[in-house]
Amino acid sequence: MQHAASKTLAWSHGSFTTSALGGMTAPVEFHSSRGKPFSPLAEAPWAAASLPQAIPGHIRGLRGVFPCLPFGISAMPQDAPLEWRVLETKNDNAMHGDGANGMWRFDDAQPESLRLVFEHADVDAIAMSSQTITPAPDRPAISFSYSAMPRYSVRLPFGFHVMLKWEDGMQLRPGLFTHGLCYPGTLQPGPMMTAPEGSFKSLETVPSRAGTLDMTRPDWPGPAEDVVMLCGAAGRFSVLYPNQRRRLDIRWDAAIMPSCLLWFSRFGLTEEPWNRRYTAIGIEPIAAAFDFLPEVSACQNPLTEMGVATSISLSKDIAFSTTLHLEALAT
């Protein structure tokens, strides 16, 4: 079956483009009376290039917003602490799930929305996933509704990627959260600034290798590659763009995704296709244990022992659904 490479939908307050690969959406342009469109979502510089099939689809087409079920990579950090490493298994599953790496089919869309469907392999716990992307008719806002039909009852980690352009002067304003955790392992020894296994109560005072780090103002010089996790998140995150007099609000169902993973990537990844040229900040609502193996997130782990849910419960033949919202506001 032939798949359309992408589709674009415009409405009175903007436009968006969704790719069949990974079901990823970007760019999104929000329009306002101030003239210049506001386009906050990141696209990898190679996203339109032809890359080897050995590179996972979610990296080949990396851009904007996309759901991941199960959320997680296919290996654990080699230096993860013992309490994490005893849970380690290896698998050959696609990182962040088949839907993030495969081709979605555009369904017959209503004029006011765009719908995509992904049919999973017969051996997958999920039979079918769908997305419906709907702009608000009266304002610069857009909703991403995701649904999955399980073949059998299972626990899996889930999350959304929201990849933002790394812009000068941007300010991160997380909503309420109970506590934050630094990544329990090494991402990239050089550009990683946070202290592994550190904990914090404010994003302004994150433990670092040289004291503390204000991660609400990511204007650090040089390369960066860091991940922190906000646990007990209230389901709202705002990003301010003073230079553009804009604010982006991100909202989600905290009962389903009780944490928010923050990924800071600025010229820090060296392998192909990154080649020190990728910059983005990921705001990622999740029910997961960082981006660790799905098997780790789905079982008892150091985060569940803290009372943090790291997976969702799916019931046989009962659809799971949730929605992520983005809205652009003037400041």
For the chain of 331 residues, list the mean pLDDT of each consecutive stretch of 10: 77 96 97 86 89 90 97 83 74 82 88 94 93 96 98 97 97 97 87 94 95 95 94 98 96 98 95 94 98 92 96 97 97 89
What is the spatial distance between Cα 19 and Cα 60, in angstroms, rounded to a whole number? 12
> In angstroms, what CA-CA distances link 313 with 79, 142, 152, 299, 310?
30, 27, 11, 12, 10
Query: Any idea what DSSP says for residue 178?
Result: S
Judged by phi (left if over 0) then psi (alpha if -120 to 50, else beta), residue 20 lies in alpha
Provide the total of helices (H) and of strands (E) in the chain, helices listed first.
3, 22
| Contact present, 289 and 299 (Cβ < 8 Å) | no
What is the spatial distance between Cα 161 and Cα 100, in angstroms, rounded to a whole number? 10
Q: How many CA atoms lie within 13 A of 105 on its CB side?
A: 10
| Contact present, 218 and 262 (Cβ < 8 Å) | no
Query: Any idea what DSSP says for residue 7?
Result: E
The mean pLDDT value of the chain amounts to 93
To the nearest 10°, the Cα dihedral for 206, 208, 210, 216? -40
Structure tokens at 125: 């716990």
pLDDT score, position 246: 95
pLDDT score, position 20: 96
CA 9 from centre of chain = 22
Write the pLDDT tens digit of every residue in 180-213: 999 998 887 779 999 999 999 999 999 998 899 9
Sign of CA dihedral 222, 60, 253, 239: positive
pLDDT score, position 27: 97
Q: What is the largest CA-CA distance in the chain?
A: 56
Angle (nearest 5°) at CA 267 between 273 and 103:
35
What is the spatial distance between Cα 184 and Cα 86, in angstroms, rounded to a whole number? 14
Query: Topology of domain 41-93+152-330, per CATH?
Result: Beta-galactosidase; Chain A, domain 5 (2.70.98)
pLDDT score, position 36: 87
pLDDT score, position 2: 44
* pTM metric for this prediction: 0.95
pLDDT score, position 209: 87
